Structure 1
Amino acid sequence: MSGYVARVRHDNPPNGTAEFDRLVASVAKRWAAVDPLLPEPSHPKLNTNPLLTVSDELGRPMAIGAMRYSWYQPGEAGRTWGVPDQHWITPLVGGSDPEGALDSLLTSWRDQLERLPTGTGSESAALLTWPARDVCGIRPLQRHGMQPVTVMAVRERRRGVPPALPPRDVTIRLADLQDLTAVVSLVMEEHRYEEHFGSVFIQPETAEQTRKVAARALSRNPSWIWLAERRGRPVGLVWVSPPHRARWVAPLVNAAPAAYIGYGTVVEEERGQGIGTTLISHAHHALDTHGIAVTLLNYSVTNPLSGPFWHRMGYRPLWTTWEVRPALALR
């Protein structure tokens, strides 16, 4: 941390908002240069989450991280998607030495985690999301023991393979409420596969929680859930959230409107026959027809099927979530 001073604040950043605005402008300039689809960096909400600041020898902020803690009790839906104790930091790193500033920010964050009385045991994690193309952050993240775990990928309108016809004996159609059991079964099969990569933790309540969410989606017209059937047997699906149901992704990308694909799966014995490509082609055709500018989705970095498939469909990394477990394994 040579040359940098760290401080935790629960109010305005040091030296007032003018220095903070300069830091955000520096981040915005770098983001715009590395990836035009990154959004404008947003100011952390002051007096909401404690801010960890790293300043140079003149007191100018070089990095700010908003720290947030989430704890998921048994039975909560969020428990399916991660360990119970989650410590997040949202970094804004600028100046002429972003690598060094991020390194200092992570060191200071480790110090803060060590001071916590609880929540850093074996079922905890330290996490942050970093722009995928902002490569200046990779070495400090690795030095501090963090690993990339999930990618948020983006597809611009009309990107990817041309529309595909379904294989013989396979039909693609929009699902409705009568397909609830099939949809839940296919989603749970995807969950079971994703458990191999440490990004999903199936709970006793997961199937019922999935059923409730699926029932709401299938009761809408259209559902935006497409089913693939081979001779009447469901063998795959793609589940899309159109922009009015995917508002949470809008701040993550510099294009609008934005949709989100939550699930895309084909049963194991039917993979490699073009069913997935045909399903996604149907979804893309609907999205492009409705003028959706970008579509986003998440996949596990270590999943050997997801990355190659989605890249071929026209997606590329936009954000990467880095993680270390337990939280105090952060170096």
Structure 2
Amino acid sequence: MHNDVTATGHAARIATVDALLPAPLPFEVGGDSALLSAEVGDTTAAGLTTCTGLGPDSPRSMWRALVEHRLEVQLAGPDPAAGLDALLTRWDEHLGSLARVGDTECAAVLSRPSRDTAGATELLRHGFAPVGVLAVRPAQRMAAGPDATPGVCIRHATPDDLSTAVALQLELQRYDAQFGRITLRPGVEELITKELLHHLERPEPQVWIAELYGQPLGMVVLQMPDETGWIRHRVAASRVGYLSSLAVSETARSSGVGTALAAHAHQVFDEAGADVVLLHHAVANPRSTPFWYAQGYRPLWTGWQRRPAVRSR
């Protein structure tokens, strides 16, 4: 079986699924990566495995297990679900020689195009759960700007807002940690403080505070199109904005603060010429999932995770 043949068939199939998905390329093996393959009749599957590790003091450690085994998947042929099932079995065998049984700081992770639902049952059968979504919102180019929300004023954050920003982000992290995308670690407040201070000390910080009748109760953090090279390859668009986080104090929920912040963020991205805006959210979060889709987002990629990567048998 040839990887480029699978890639070609996979690309043709994906092109019919979602116009905002980027065109996939044949896998290239390098470093510690490995290529796995499987065949089921006329269906072929290819997977590129990689492993990355972080220290617990890394800011990124809040968003993942310390060790992540990742699998990129390409499926071609008449039965992609069966192809994925066979590939996952091969990956299980591969992981058995690399990961310790029951290690909760070791996760097996893969992303699938959200609208390519073939194989969802097989992922569940192999112990994976849909944990996070990379959602996309095409630009709307609001010439008149968003409608004003009574009582809400949005302004640039300054270093004087650091304590407020940290408190809002901590509240968001603690709530989201219930749903599997976030790991609360010792020193999380220090990590958040350092990251927000880095944003606030920039010449033009893309951190915005929402005040409700003069009281700061919400915050949004943005990455502009010239900063999003790390995620631009996930969408078929040239200029990509990324909404890093939006936090609203529990006391201000359902007050319009979150909607006002989102509308302001979209206006900023529109003015910067962004073609699309991306953001991550937890699938199981009962607040963020309906909120973001009411703001014009939809799922683009779904992140599936099994943690620990190797379960006890």
TM-score range, shorter chain: over 0.9
Matched, 1:39 2:22: yes
Distance 2:40 2:124 in 1: 23
What residue is the counterpart of 1:24 in the other structure?
7
Tell me, in whole angstroms, the C-alpha distance in 2 between the residues paired with 1:113 and 1:131: 23
Indicate the residue corresponding to 2:146 in structure 1.
163
Alignment of 1:53 onto 2:40: no
Q: Deviations over 1:60-89 (max 9, x none)?
A: 881111112223333222321122232211
CA RMSD, Structure 1 to Structure 2 (Å)? 2.1
Query: 2: distance between equivalents of 1:251 and 1:264?
Result: 23
Please say if 1:82 is aligned against 2:64: yes
**Is the CA contact (8 Å cut-off) linking 2:101 and 2:310 kept in structure 1?**
no
**Which amino acid in the other structure matches residue 275 of structure 1?**
V
Cα drift, residue 106 of structure 1 = 0.2
Helix, strand or coil for the counterpart of 2:52? strand
User: Residue 231 of structure 2: SS of its match in structure 1?
Assistant: helix
In the TM superposition, what are the counterparts of 1:129-168 in structure 2 within 5 Å?
129-158=111-140, 163-168=146-151
Distance 1:330 1:105, change over 3 A: farther
**Matched residue, 2:165:** 183
Quick one: which of 75, 81, 96 aligns to 1:114?
Answer: 96
Cα deviation, residue 45, structure 1:
2.7
1:159-238 → structure 2 map (5 Å cutoff): 163-168=146-151, 170-238=152-220
Query: Shift in Å at residue 216 of structure 1?
Result: 2.0
2-side partners of 1:327 and 1:148: how far apart?
14
What's the offset of the Cα at 1:137? 2.2
Identity of aligned residues (%): 36
Cα 1:30/1:288, change in 2 over 3 Å: same
Deviations 1:239-284 (A, max 9, x none): 1101111111110000120011111111001100111111111111
SS in 1 for 2:11: helix
1:95 Cα deviation after fit: 2.1
Of residues 126-135 and 47-56 in structure 1, the stretch that sits farther from structure 2 once superposed is 47-56
Residue by residue over 1:100-152, the C-alpha shift from the partner in whole angstroms, topping out at 9 and shown as x without a partner, is 11110001111111223647524322111000000112122122121100011
Q: CA deviation at 1:91?
A: 1.1
Structure 1: gaps of 5 or more residues: 1-13
Please state whether the residue corresponding to 2:302 is helix, strand or coil.
Answer: strand
Give the Cα–Cα distance (whole angstroms) in 1 for the partners of residues 196 and 236 of structure 2: 29
Please state if 1:288 is matched with 2:267: no
Is 1:242 aligned to residue 224 of structure 2?
yes
Contact residue 324 and residue 330 of structure 1 kept, 8 A = no
Tell me the amino acid that sits aligned with residue 151 of structure 1: V
Aligned-partner SS, 2:14: helix
Separation in 1, partners of 2:312, 2:128? 7
1:300 matched residue in structure 2: 282
